[in-house]
Structure 1
């Protein structure tokens, strides 16, 4: 009986390895501001590329950690002077005046629980993103202040979000997916901005 138990312990990791797989993925995405507190959100397009490891469990469930490079852009437009600087409200400074533009490079690490009872699947989990770089530009619509552009300082390099989505397995190698992630972390202690991201792409099993 002990020998049977020991053999089962030895075989179990082999089965797990046989049911695991590596895949690469790429796609397009759009990024914006969730619940913009000042100004208006304006989504812009970007792209992502990366890969993931899928570890099969029981009853259609699997664990899927991913490593993704993501290029994202978004705008915060029609910001009034009173919103941007604060102060006393009047007819002039409540008019839309400033537009802000952002470009980001990130490394993302989603840790997803995937459920696939058929060719369709759903997935959900936390995501950590490391901000490699971010550039911003501020434009004054009234041309009373010079345009400011360059690298932004005092930014939280670690961003946390919740990722969820689903997809369809086209064949043994290829599937298509749609995913959203909602930011939980502000860029810095001095800003209100949190992002949401919607992506669509394909993955190929190696």
Structure 2
């Protein structure tokens, strides 16, 4: 947990410096849905399907100009990522399917441009992996003979992830907002030397998000 704490401390220090130059500061909450999958050097892309999850948390919008055109917006979000998979063997008689859910804490720090309510945002994102949950099902000719649901060992995965986020949306004068965002990762999911699934070894998280939120009036 030392690295996440250091990242949080660095974020707070950055905010303290930024606040001295801020024109306005607004606290808010947001939440919405995720559509996630794997990206990267995958040997069998057709095996993986998009998985639906959710995200939610707090944000702080720090205005840099009087007219609200430019601001910095750090966020702390819980975010579910992952994928579904399905494969057939023995001429389709044997089926193996399931899903994997990654529970992350995401900390994006975004530069936000707001023009007449419409906004664009982009910036780096730090993510910390808290838990991985697997759910699998095995069947023969459509008859299920084995199921599994449980957490996965994290010793061979990179729990600290560096990535980026970019999005657009609309924000009303009252503070209500709706937005779309893409999250990409620059960190491979598995550590060097990982001997498991080759696709997971070379994979990175890829997430589309749709959000609604509200910013309180600034001071």
1:9 aligned partner: none
- After superposition, residues 56-67 of structure 1 pair within 5 angstroms as 56-58=63-65, 60-67=69-76
- Alpha-carbon offset, residue 113 of structure 1: 0.8
1:155 aligned partner: 157
1:197 aligned partner: 207
- After superposition, residues 137-176 of structure 1 pair within 5 angstroms as 137-140=135-138, 149-153=149-153, 154-176=156-178
- After superposition, residues 1-206 of structure 1 pair within 5 angstroms as 16-17=21-22, 19-35=24-40, 36-38=42-44, 39-58=46-65, 60-78=69-87, 98-140=96-138, 149-153=149-153, 154-189=156-191, 190=194, 191-206=201-216
- With normalisation by structure 1, the TM-score equals 0.75
Would the alpha carbon gap of residues 14 and 49 (structure 1) be closer, same or farther in structure 2, given more than 3 Å must change?
closer
Between the two proteins, the alignment pairs up a number of residues equal to 183
- Alpha-carbon offset, residue 203 of structure 1: 1.3
- Alpha-carbon offset, residue 165 of structure 1: 0.3
- With normalisation by structure 2, the TM-score equals 0.71
Distance 1:17 1:195 in 2: 33
1:4 aligned partner: none
Distance 1:78 1:192 in 2: 19
2:6 aligned partner: none
Moved more, 46-55 or 147-156: 147-156
- Alpha-carbon offset, residue 137 of structure 1: 3.7
- Equivalent residues of 2:177, 2:212 under 8 A apart: yes
Runs of 4+ in 1 over 4 A off after TM superposition: 13-18, 95-98, 138-143, 145-149
Larger Rg: 1
- Equivalent residues of 2:23, 2:64 under 8 A apart: no
- Alpha-carbon offset, residue 73 of structure 1: 3.8
Gaps of 5+ in 2: 1-17, 195-200
Report the 3-state secondary structure (helix = DSSP H, G, I; strand = E; otherwise coil) of the residue aligned with 1:99: strand
Taking only aligned residues, the RMSD between alpha carbons, in angstroms, comes to 2.9
